[in-house]
């Protein structure tokens, strides 16, 4: 399973149960990166409402998505499902936002960046995309 | 004018009665003192009136209740609204740049809000202090040019002072209440207060960024109110209450209510006049920055984080700890500390967790060592 996430400079993901930020360029980048469909829960699917029919909405994401699927995750703790995750594609906002929910995986411990890409967003000057894979792979 | 003065003398640092701060003062400012409200486009009195005098569809006696069209609130009604009708306490500063108020629900009314942009800035009081600023932030009031010079403005409590352990060295910034990136409001003295670098960058800016991104991406509006809080006749605000609510989606995208502390780690501030001095007790014991950054983006980790430079220069590196060592975990920041680390005292009790064991195990649990005590 490959996971897409978005985080700020403090590894923050949410504040008050709401995403910290959004950018249309990230959505397009995600869609372009996946040949098939992207799985996500209802909360995240609202971002894609008018953008793509490549979205599969499933609130029990980690139980239902196939092993080789791509999943966009915004508000689900990942630690519990870490064993199911083969790769993590992280979009860094390169800013600090308010946060009360943080990425609960230590990317420096068990993961290593396989590739990095930078691009401009519609509301962000620079977004950095890093693909992390397990160190033992 | 007396009541305007009372806005400030009613405030207590740890026990602030917001109803006394906000409601009477802002109402007075709006109704009697003539705070400045501006609509989305170039200010024209008629356009303000247009918002204030939005046609009210009165319910006809014989029309069904469900057909009643509710009135869109005026700027005055929005700026002065405050719920609940009881006092609200501000917790003492405990090392975090802001604290959540009212479960993150804004105090202002959140129904029948206009979907047109506007800005409102209270008049300065007799001490030259700012009052509440409020804006319905939309793309049409966001700036299209780089910010101009604001150095000619000297907000109340202004001091030009430098410290080696402050990022950029200058302790104080001229802080926009409604950020320039949201309103394009540049050198407006009614919108600028004296605030520390930490307050500005770690406290206010993240919320402004969040609003700006949302508005740019959705073309919706965010009702945003920033209220500076002064204690007695202090010239320097103890902090600001920041409230935000996305209008079109009724808070689905943006909903927050926080108090941001006007503090600077390792610096003692006299809020009466803005004078300051290093916190000798903390420097002497080389205690860490209570506002240490969380585990951060590896690419973004640098010495530009406020307080980071000071901490790296002032702390000796201890020997590696043996197995079975006692640690204090901060379940919020995901940092771990030695029990004697000064950050522990700054930590909220709810975030403290005692742990005795191996350092590697703590790291494996997802925690990072404090950069000051370096456990």
Q: Do B210 and A108 touch (CB under 8 A)?
A: no
Contact at CB, A98 and B252, closer than 8 angstroms: no
What is the C-alpha separation between A101 and B312, in angstroms, rounded? 27
Residues of A in contact with B205 (CB under 8 A): 96
Say which residue the tokens 């590896």 belong to: B298
Q: Does B334 touch chain A (CB under 8 A)?
A: yes
CA distance B303 to chain A (A): 14
Q: How far apart are CA A84 and CA B140, in angstroms?
A: 45
Per-residue confidence (pLDDT) for residue B27, from 0 to 100: 41
The neighbouring-strand residues paired with A6 are: A91
Write down the pLDDT at residue B336: 80
- Same domain, residue pair B239 and B289: no
Please tell me which of the candidates A10, A98, A123 has its beta carbon nearest to residue B294.
A10
Q: With residue A64 as reference, give the H or E element that holds it.
A: helix A61-64
Both B307 and B334 in one domain: the answer is yes
What is the per-residue DSSP string for B11-61?
Answer: --SSS-BHHHHHHHHHHHIIIII--EEEESSS--HHHHHHHHTPPP-PPPT
- Report yes or no: B369 at the A interface, CB cutoff 8 Å: no
Contact A10 B254 (CB under 8 A): no
Domain around B86: 2-52+70-278
- Contact of B296 with chain A, judged by CB distance below 8 Å, is answered with yes
Residue B121's contacts (CB-CB under 8 Å, 6 or more residues apart) are: B35, B36, B130, B133, B177, B178, B185, B188, B190, B191
CB B294 within 8 A of CB A11: yes
> In chain B, what residues touch A74 (CB-CB under 8 Å)?
none
Q: Within this chain, do residues B27 and B162 fall inside the same structural domain, yes or no?
A: yes
**What are the two backbone dihedrals, phi and then psi, of residue A18, each rounded to the nearest 5 degrees?**
-125, 145
The answer to whether B74 and B48 are in contact (CB under 8 A) is no
B219 with B148, same domain: the answer is yes
At A32-81, the pLDDT tens digits run: 999 999 999 999 999 987 656 889 999 999 999 999 999 999 999 999 99
Question: A75 CB near a chain B CB, below 8 Å?
Answer: no
- Whether B210 contacts chain A with CB within 8 A: yes
Would the pLDDT of B111 be above 90? no
- Answer yes or no: do B342 and B236 share one domain: no
Residues 6+ apart with CB under 8 A from B152: B187
Is residue B375 a part of any domain in this protein?
no
Domains and CATH numbers, chain A: 2-134 (3.40.430.10)
Put simply, whether A18 touches B (Cβ < 8 Å) is yes
Q: Is A105 on the interface with B (CB under 8 A)?
A: yes
Distance CA B292, CA B307 (A): 7
Instruction: Compute the distance between CA of residue B115 and CA of residue A31 in angstroms, rounded to an integer.
Output: 32
Which residue has better confidence, A74 or B370? Answer: A74
CB contact under 8 A, B209 and A95: yes
Instruction: Check if A94 contacts B (Cβ < 8 Å).
Output: yes
> Is residue B268 domain-shared with residue B306, that is, in the same domain?
no
Residue B321 is predicted with a pLDDT of 42
Q: What is the tens place of the pLDDT at every residue in B235-252? A: 999 999 999 999 999 999
Same structural domain, B209 and B321: no
Answer whether residue B290 shows pLDDT above 50: no
Which chain A residue lies closest to B209 (C-alpha atoms)? A97
Q: Report the alpha-carbon distance of residue B211 to residue A18 in Å, rounded.
A: 12
Backbone angles phi, psi at B12, to 5 degrees: -120, 140
Last residue of a domain, one of B255, B278, B301: B278
Q: Name the least confident of A103-112, B4-13, B123-132, B202-211.
A: B4-13
* Domain match, B171 and B84 both: yes
| Domain edge (last residue) among B278, B306, B324 | B278
Q: Are both B336 and B248 inside the same structural domain? A: no
Q: Tell me which residue in B202, B216, B256 faces A16 most closely, judged by beta carbons.
A: B256
* Domain contains B305: yes
| Separation of alpha carbons B290 and B355, rounded Å | 20
Global pTM?
0.72
Q: Do the strands B368-369 and B335-337 form a parallel or antiparallel pair, or are they unpaired?
A: parallel
What distance in Å separates the CA atoms of residue A132 and residue B301, rounded to the nearest whole number? 18
**Worst-scoring range by mean pLDDT, B24-38, B259-273, B294-308, B332-346?**
B294-308
Question: Would you state the torsion angle of the CA atoms of residues B77, B80, B84, B86, taken in this order, to the nearest 10 degrees?
Answer: -140
| B289 and B259 both lie in a single domain | no
Specify whether B184 is located in the same domain as B230. yes
**Residue B118: inside a domain, yes or no?**
yes
Task: Measure the CA–CA gap between A75 and A17, rounded to whole angstroms.
Answer: 8
pLDDT tens, B63-75?
Answer: 444 444 567 778 8
Using alpha carbons, list the distances in angstroms from residue B38 to B113, B186, B190, B244, B354: 16, 14, 13, 19, 53
- The answer to whether the CB of B98 falls within 8 A of the CB of B208 is no
A10 Cα to chain B: minimum distance (Å): 4
Q: DSSP character for B327?
A: E
Q: CB-CB: which of A12, A98, A123 is closest to B207?
A: A98
- CATH (domain of B155): 3.40.570.10
Token pair for A66:
């196939």
B258·A98 Cβ contact <8 A: yes
- The verdict on residue B58 lying in a domain is no
Q: What secondary structure, in 3-state letters, does B266-298 show?
A: CEEECCCCCCEEECHHHHHCCCCCCCCCCCCCC
For chains A and B, count residue pairs whose Cβ atoms are closer than 8 Å.
81
Nearest-neighbour CA in chain A from B100: distance (Å): 9
The complex's ipTM works out to 0.95
Which of B278, B301, B334 delimits the end of a domain? B278
Whether residue B246 sits in one domain with residue B363 = no
DSSP A68-123: T-EEE-SSS-SGGGGGG-SEEEEEE-SS----SEE--S-TTTSEEEEEEEEE--SS
Number of domain units in chain B: 2
Is B299 in Cβ contact with A98 (below 8 Å)?
A: no
A108-136 confidence digits (pLDDT tens): 888 999 999 999 999 999 999 999 999 87
Sorting pLDDT into bands at 50, 70 and 90, what band is B32?
A: very low
B299 has a chain A CB within 8 A of its CB: yes
Q: Which residues of B touch A109 (CB under 8 A)?
A: 363-364
Regarding beta strands A101-102 and A87-92, do their DSSP bridges make them parallel or antiparallel, or are they unpaired?
Answer: unpaired
């Amino acid at each position: 399973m490959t996971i897409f996430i978005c985080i700020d400079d403090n590894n923050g993901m949410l504040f008050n149960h709401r995403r910290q930020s959004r950018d249309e360029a990230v959505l397009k980048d995600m869609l372009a990166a996946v040949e098939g469909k992207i799985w996500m829960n209802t909360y995240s699917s609202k971002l894609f409402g008018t953008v793509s029919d490549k979205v599969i909405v499933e609130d029990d994401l980690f139980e239902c998505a196939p092993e080789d699927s791509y999943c966009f995750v915004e508000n689900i703790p990942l630690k519990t499902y870490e064993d199911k995750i083969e790769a993590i594609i992280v979009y860094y906002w390169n800013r600090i936002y308010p946060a009360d929910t943080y990425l609960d995986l230590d990317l420096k411990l068990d993961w290593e960046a396989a590739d990095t890409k930078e691009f401009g967003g519609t509301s962000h000057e620079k977004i950095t995309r890093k693909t992390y894979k397990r160190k033992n792979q | 004018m007396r009541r305007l003065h009372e806005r400030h003398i009613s405030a207590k640092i740890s026990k602030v009665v917001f109803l006394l701060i906000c409601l009477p003062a802002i109402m007075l400012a709006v109704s009697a003192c003539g705070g400045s409200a501006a609509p989305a486009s170039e200010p024209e009195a008629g356009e303000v009136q247009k918002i204030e005098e939005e046609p009210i569809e009165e319910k006809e006696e014989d029309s069904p209740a469900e057909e009643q069209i509710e009135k869109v609130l005026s700027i005055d009604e929005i700026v002065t609204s405050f719920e609940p009708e009881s006092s609200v306490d501000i917790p003492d500063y405990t090392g975090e740049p802001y604290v959540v108020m009212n479960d993150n629900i804004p105090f202002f009314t959140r129904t029948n809000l206009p979907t047109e942009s506007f800005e409102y800035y209270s008049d300065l009081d007799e001490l030259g202090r700012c009052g509440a600023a409020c804006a319905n932030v939309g793309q049409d009031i966001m700036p299209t040019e780089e910010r101009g010079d604001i150095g000619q403005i000297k907000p109340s409590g202004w001091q030009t002072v430098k410290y080696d352990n402050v990022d950029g060295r200058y302790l104080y910034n001229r802080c926009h209440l409604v950020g320039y990136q949201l309103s394009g409001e540049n050198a407006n003295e009614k919108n600028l207060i004296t605030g520390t670098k930490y307050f500005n960058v770690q406290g206010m800016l993240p919320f402004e960024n969040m609003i700006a991104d949302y508005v740019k991406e959705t073309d919706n509006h965010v009702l945003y109110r920033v209220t500076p809080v002064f204690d007695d006749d202090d010239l320097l605000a103890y902090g600001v209450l920041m409230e935000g609510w996305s209008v079109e989606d009724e808070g689905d995208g943006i909903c927050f209510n926080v108090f941001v502390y006007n503090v600077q780690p390792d610096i003692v501030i006299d809020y009466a006049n803005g004078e300051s001095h290093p916190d000798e007790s903390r420097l002497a014991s080389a205690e860490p920055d209570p506002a240490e950054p969380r585990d951060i983006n590896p690419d973004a980790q640098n010495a530009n984080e406020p307080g980071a430079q000071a901490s790296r220069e002032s702390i000796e590196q201890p020997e590696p700890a043996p197995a079975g060592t006692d640690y204090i975990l901060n379940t919020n920041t995901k940092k771990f500390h030695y029990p004697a680390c000064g950050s522990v005292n700054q930590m909220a009790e709810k975030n403290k967790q005692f742990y005795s064991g191996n350092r590697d195990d703590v790291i494996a649990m997802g925690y990072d060592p404090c950069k000051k005590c370096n456990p």
